[in-house]
Amino acid sequence: MTPSASTGSGSARSLATAAYLGMWRDMTRAAATSDWELPALAHHATGEALSTISRGLYADHLNGLVTKGKPKESPMVTSVDPVGVPTTVMIADCGDSSHWLKYRKSTGKLADNDPGGRQAITAEVKRGSDGTWRVTRFAVEGVGTC
């Protein structure tokens, strides 16, 4: 689905959710090699969200880590604003990182001391002036928060 400037809360919910899921797909792809400069990261994330992703991937790169597998998302829209023609959508998720873990690039051995698990995630997704929906910020809580 191509993000657009479609109006109405149903369309906004759908487009924002697609952007949120796209952000995680892009991040999963980049995390496999800790590529903090992957251009695709900006397709579904911007601002603080993009900065958070890039910094985390850069830190993994410096520490010789890659992330294998993929997270599982279960996003739900919690609010749209303004109601008539939304430009901001808030999403809550209980993501599962059990099958998305960090490994040492040099040895291929598991680097995570934590086996992953369910984590509360909140995200703000906004429609830009070009009509494209992107995640502008998100927060991932600790394992066991949902």
Taking only the tens place, the pLDDT of each residue in 79-107 is: 999 988 999 999 999 999 999 999 999 99
What is the per-residue pLDDT for 9?
Answer: 65
- 37, 62, 65: which is closest to 51 by C-alpha? 37
Q: Is residue 14 part of a domain?
A: yes
Q: Is residue 43 part of a domain?
A: yes
Mean pLDDT of the chain: 93
124: pLDDT strictly greater than 90 = yes
Task: Tell the burial category of 146 from Cβ atoms under 10 Å away from its Cβ (0-12, 13-18, 19+).
Answer: middle
- The residue segments making up the domain with residue 23 are 9-143
Q: Which residues contact 10 (CB under 8 A, 6 or more apart)?
A: none
Q: Is residue 106 part of a domain?
A: yes
- Whether pTM exceeds 0.85: yes
18: pLDDT strictly greater than 50 = yes
Distance CA 135, CA 146 (A): 21
Report angle CA 8, 43, 89 to the nearest 5 degrees.
30
Q: Is residue 2 part of a domain?
A: no
What is the per-residue pLDDT for 15?
Answer: 97
- Our count of domains for the chain comes to 1
What is the per-residue pLDDT for 12?
Answer: 94
Domain of 116, CATH number, reads 3.10.450.240
Whether the Cβ atoms of residue 95 and residue 121 lie closer than 8 Å to each other: yes
Q: Is residue 3 part of a domain?
A: no
Q: Long-range CB contacts (< 8 A, 24+ apart) of 96-100? A: 96/71, 96/72, 97/71, 97/143, 98/72, 99/69, 99/70, 99/71, 99/72, 100/28, 100/31, 100/67, 100/68, 100/69, 100/70, 100/71
